[in-house]
Amino acid sequence: MDTAAADAYLDRIGAARPAAPDAEALRALHLSHLRTVPFENLSIHLGEEIVLVEQPLLDKIVRARRGGFCYELNGAFALLLGALGYDVELLSARVFGADGPGIPYDHLALRVQTPSGPWLADVGFGRHSHFPLRWDSRAEQADPGGVFRIEETSEGDLDVLRDGDPQYRLEQRPRAYADFEAGCWWHRTSPKSHFTQSLVCSRLTGTGRVTLSGRTLVTTGADGARDERQLDGGEGEVLAAYRERFGIVLEREPRVGAVRAPGGGA
């Protein structure tokens, strides 16, 4: 990523270029990203291709002011951090579900080196920590998003826990971006993937979180107060919610099942 592209990305997330690639700047960039770039799977239900290549990724998130899921959000964030002078590694993780960890390359997260040590950065997991987590700490780490802890497993992996519940299992071996293509393809095509079964668009706010799940708009306050309402005014009201709440301008409303995914999936 060149300087102009990095500046455009910083403008997209409303952040200033940091004076140095240190932990303090990483924390600020991480929070700014979560508050401006939504976690969303709309492309799957709009029939849009998801391409894990630098320029299409930046075109979507920066130029088109869209969001994405983990491969896109953390992949793009890694490009920005690298352009700002950080040493960034892509890591594969398996998300915990009712039956244990998911598929290989289920999730993409980042290990970021700073002068004060390594950090786990993740702007692509929906509800998660607001700030990076200290990679080399095994103590509880308090965050506005919960109390987090990183635990070592007997196989040499790391489990990331929020409020005592395992979220995902990280492999410590660095990966290339292309390694995640199979996992991305599975999540956007398989009938077993929760991304093909539902619509989600969610963004952290200064006072909580706002989420549009199908036609259900949910706002959550800092105190946990939850307001939920159905958008019954038709497609126009839904498109307005995407535009006004998330800055996403769409020509038509995404609908689950409206588009058959490439490769014969859902």
Q: Which secondary-structure segment (H or E) carries 166?
A: strand 165-170
SS3 132: coil
Task: Give me 31's structure tokens.
Answer: 């929070």
Pick the catalytic residue from 107, 128, 184, 201. Answer: 107
Element (DSSP H or E) covering residue 36: helix 23-36
Of the candidates 122, 128, 157, 201, the residue annotated as catalytic is: 122
Return d(Cα 246, Cα 241) in angstroms, integer.
7
**217 vs 137: CA distance, rounded Å:** 37
Exactly one of 70, 106, 128, 201 is catalytic; name it.
70
Is 184 in the active site? no
99 classed as catalytic = no
Q: Are the beta carbons of 4 and 63 closer than 8 angstroms?
A: no
C-alpha 172/C-alpha 135 separation (Å) is: 11
107 is catalytic: yes
CB 143 within 8 A of CB 130: yes
End-to-end alpha carbon distance in the chain: 34
How far is residue 111's CA from residue 88's CA, in Å, rounded to a whole number? 6
The closest alpha carbon to 208, from 226, 191, 190, belongs to: 226
- Annotated catalytic sites, by residue? 70, 107, 122
